[in-house]
Structure 1
């Protein structure tokens, strides 16, 4: 036999012997049984723990007759180790480990058991750390549940052409990591769509973090967004504070009313989008960023860029997947379904008389769906009748804002005034109508208008039209 192989076997045998001696000496007790689970050896400490005057008294006895709750027989029967287990005794529980013993032919010939800890207080540091980890895990799961998307596309109610187009675009955007820009008036459901895009995306299992830029004081917005280093400024948390970018790591960050973001912060957001990194306030540490950004605004960002109130480079970076969310007055055919869904949300059994629904279709809804929900809730609270009348809705609406033209009309004359504005409005309506006839097909629309495709694309970009 090769000398090196002999040395290997000798070292292995010595290691096995040393391991056994170390564990046997440091454990609270050791026992060895044969293939029939009869005790063949037991150290004196273990014998005394179970009331024997000498370990010799245990030799040849079934293990259960000495250790009533022993599972050594299970180990020799199954051949499977029980690495960590609790063994109840008359005094106190023990932490034990049981291992099968095999011969050279890999046949089970017995088992060995060690009582690793005789006093559970020896495990106190480990148990304390385990408990801390469990608490941290529970806290993280709780925070993540609180940051989960609350809505999906089923919550965006409507079967009108305008609603279906919005959902089609939003669904397509869900599969990418590109920024999404939601454009529309207040109350049209932009945040609901942001939730739905996240919940359908590959990032759905991660956090959805929402920041209303207009609701946070400008002096606190940077710290809220990027987080702070420990003691970054007077009054700052001494341990530092994670910002929304860190909380949204791996998930989606939704910036509502991004048009109100201060210019200095806009440049830092642009760096996050381009370089995918940021620095907390008061820190030199550069943190990698992995977020999907969805932004929303109720203002015309192109006008804001022209006025110098919004960075053009950030606008172009955000305007990759723009989705215009139409106001309620442009999708009045969705009113019956919206009203039914809102009443279901309230948990009551109200419904609308035909005249009441007709009245709702004559209102311009400056507050959009948020206003509709408010009106229906007020009408339901003020009336005991299950069927709400036209008069009940008129009272709930208060001041009626009549539509200036039928919602289905494609061409509406602008108010007399600036000729350039009137021309742009006509071009926007004309091209939008042509695109609608061809289901958004730019090539077909360009041929109908006898216009080059690149020229049409430029026109669409200038007028804020998306196909």
Structure 2
């Protein structure tokens, strides 16, 4: 049936009935955004003089804040909205108009209220929800900030001082960083420190443990999913980690566990600075710095073909090796003090102290789990022991007896000297014990022991002679 709406298939009687139910004002446009119909009430509400017919004009010429063109473009209704017109505010609804083939041929808008007063209760609820959303977004943004700086790293060892210097140096560049170290050495702590010392410190810090996510979900976790990419995918898919880390740092922990196929895709991100969400053909630019960490031997994995050579070289631009705790055993006392204070604050208990016997017991242990294991040992001792001062007995049942050196392997001390008042002597004692432990672990093989200690073979021979070790 032909009518004022051209080929749009509905009768005038149906429209009039709808208008009576929906509100006082109504206006309709065609697919080009031209006004094709307006009722008398809306004609008056807009202040259009009598005798002037607005049909044929662009809707936005008459109503600059109209969103009817958006409805035509998207085909989606806008059920409720507040529209400003001069000094008035209208509460409006907008709907697409489709022809018999289902193609959007125009749009129609209704004025539900010519004042926002009737919506005051609803507006109040929206205001409260808006504040809650804003607060949640602020908390989420804070959660994505790096928590630690270089100053947060507790140490006494010169080896960690050197790593701190490297951390400050690499933070001034934007190249990828590869953190190498055994599990529990604090690689994520150094990743936080790199971010906080860089020009990206005001951006987000997003961490992703590659080993903790099923392989089938890793790609979506990295790149995000386009709406409708697969059955069940909603129109509001969460963004991938690359998008969340925009203008900031993406920390990839346990990168050695990344599947080969995903390595190839992430290589493109590193080289081309762009990516495509899963199920999308739209390329998105990405501005993010990659900091990766691993406890695996990536060089051996490259030789075996289980880690891509090109991806390894692209990640390994700036490398930082974090020494294990057994190679910086002098850090044990200061770390103990820090963990005791942390536990006391968290548990709201009095601060515990370490006896000399307790410190010596911990310093004779090999610490295969490194700083993380030390932290757990301190916490367990605080929970299980009622003593205010923790001695060796507080840790005897916590640490495996086979991994703690016997008293006969106590720190070396020359006769007549008091180690407690002589810092160089204390360092020498620690060094002698570390060398003895390395030789014991390596079954007397001096080359392996030197590599384990992080020194050359000639340096090891010099120290063996100095400390009268065989």
Pick the TM interval, shorter chain. 0.5 to 0.7
Give deviations 1:14-42, integer Å, cap 9, x for gaps. xxxxxxxxxxx999xxxxxxxxxxxxxxx
For 2:156, the equivalent position in structure 1 comes to 159
Segments of 5+ residues of structure 1 without an aligned counterpart are: 1-24, 28-93, 96-117, 435-467
For 2:456, the equivalent position in structure 1 comes to 430
- Out of 427, 434, 446, the residue aligned to residue 407 of structure 1 is 434
Please provide the CA RMSD for this pair.
3.6
Segments of 5+ residues of structure 2 without an aligned counterpart are: 1-44, 48-87, 90-113, 345-349, 410-431, 461-470
Question: 3-state SS of the aligned residue for 1:254?
Answer: strand
For 1:380, the equivalent position in structure 2 comes to 382
Alpha-carbon separation, structure 2, partners of 1:374 and 1:294: 26
Moved more, 195-204 or 158-167: 195-204
Matched, 1:223 2:220: yes
- Out of 140, 164, 173, the residue aligned to residue 137 of structure 2 is 140
Contact 1:257 1:297 in 2 (8 A): yes
Note the C-alpha offset of 1:401: 1.4
Matched, 1:315 2:312: yes
Q: Per the alignment, do residues 223 and 123 of structure 1 end up closer, same or farther by CA in structure 2, a change over 3 Å counting?
A: same
Alpha-carbon separation, structure 2, partners of 1:285 and 1:432: 58
For 1:302, the equivalent position in structure 2 comes to 299
Q: Per the alignment, do residues 411 and 360 of structure 1 end up closer, same or farther by CA in structure 2, a change over 3 Å counting?
A: closer
For 2:23, the equivalent position in structure 1 comes to none
Matched, 1:200 2:202: no
Contact 1:356 1:389 in 2 (8 A): yes
Alpha-carbon separation, structure 2, partners of 1:160 and 1:427: 14
Give deviations 1:427-467, integer Å, cap 9, x for gaps. 97428969xxxxxxxxxxxxxxxxxxxxxxxxxxxxxxxxx
Contact 2:366 2:403 in 1 (8 A): yes
Q: Per the alignment, do residues 132 and 278 of structure 1 end up closer, same or farther by CA in structure 2, a change over 3 Å counting?
A: farther
Alpha-carbon separation, structure 2, partners of 1:230 and 1:148: 28
Alpha-carbon separation, structure 2, partners of 1:127 and 1:135: 12
- Out of 332, 337, 358, the residue aligned to residue 334 of structure 2 is 337
Give deviations 1:194-250, integer Å, cap 9, x for gaps. 111112222111111000000000000010111001121234334233100000001
**TM-score normalized with structure 1 length:** 0.62
Alpha-carbon separation, structure 2, partners of 1:203 and 1:323: 19
Contact 1:414 1:422 in 2 (8 A): no
Contact 1:228 1:240 in 2 (8 A): yes
Q: Per the alignment, do residues 245 and 158 of structure 1 end up closer, same or farther by CA in structure 2, a change over 3 Å counting?
A: same
Contact 1:183 1:298 in 2 (8 A): yes
For 2:188, the equivalent position in structure 1 comes to 191
Contact 1:330 1:408 in 2 (8 A): no
Alpha-carbon separation, structure 2, partners of 1:427 and 1:392: 29
Count how many residue pairs are aligned between Structure 1 and Structure 2: 322
For 2:21, the equivalent position in structure 1 comes to none
Alpha-carbon separation, structure 1, partners of 2:444 and 2:400: 31
Alpha-carbon separation, structure 2, partners of 1:283 and 1:326: 43
For 1:121, the equivalent position in structure 2 comes to 117
Note the C-alpha offset of 1:133: 6.6
**TM-score normalized with structure 2 length:** 0.61
Contact 1:410 1:433 in 2 (8 A): no
